[in-house]
Amino acid sequence: MAQATLNQILNQLDMLEPEELEQLTQAIDKRLSQQKKAKSVQQVADLIPANQDCPIWSPYDAFEAAEIMLSVLQDAKKQDHA
């Protein structure tokens, strides 16, 4: 933003009443929140390819991992009781 434009905005702010400044602050906060949300949504959309399936890991198919974990737990119990 050009310095001259910024100075004009600051001069106009000096003429506002406290209630008007509060309304302006709320409007700016709302606008920033909307922009951040839109950017976040776009970033997520950029990560997921359009019209393509994305693999999702599920613990329901993790039989091998479960067997390994049970084996480790059983070994640990044996060592605790030895």
Q: What is the mean pLDDT of residues 24-50?
A: 90
Cα gap 25→31, rounded to integer Å: 10
Answer whether residue 36 is part of any domain: yes
Answer whether residue 9 is part of any domain: yes
pLDDT at 50 over 80: no
75: Cβ–Cβ under 8 A, 6 or more apart, which residues? none
Answer whether residue 24 is part of any domain: yes
**Residue 54, Cβ density class (10 Å: 0-12 exposed, 13-18 middle, ≥19 buried):** exposed
Q: What total number of domains does the chain contain?
A: 1
Q: Domain containing 34: what range?
A: 3-48+58-81
Length of the chain measured in residues: 82
Answer whether residue 53 is part of any domain: no
The whole-chain average pLDDT of the chain stands at 88
pLDDT at 33 over 70: yes
Q: The tokens of 39 are what?
A: 């950017």
The pLDDT of residue 1: 65
Answer whether residue 30 is part of any domain: yes
Cα gap 13→31, rounded to integer Å: 18
Cα gap 28→46, rounded to integer Å: 27
What is the share, in percent, of the chain residues with pLDDT greater than 90? Answer: 45
Sorting pLDDT into bands at 50, 70 and 90, what band is 60?
confident
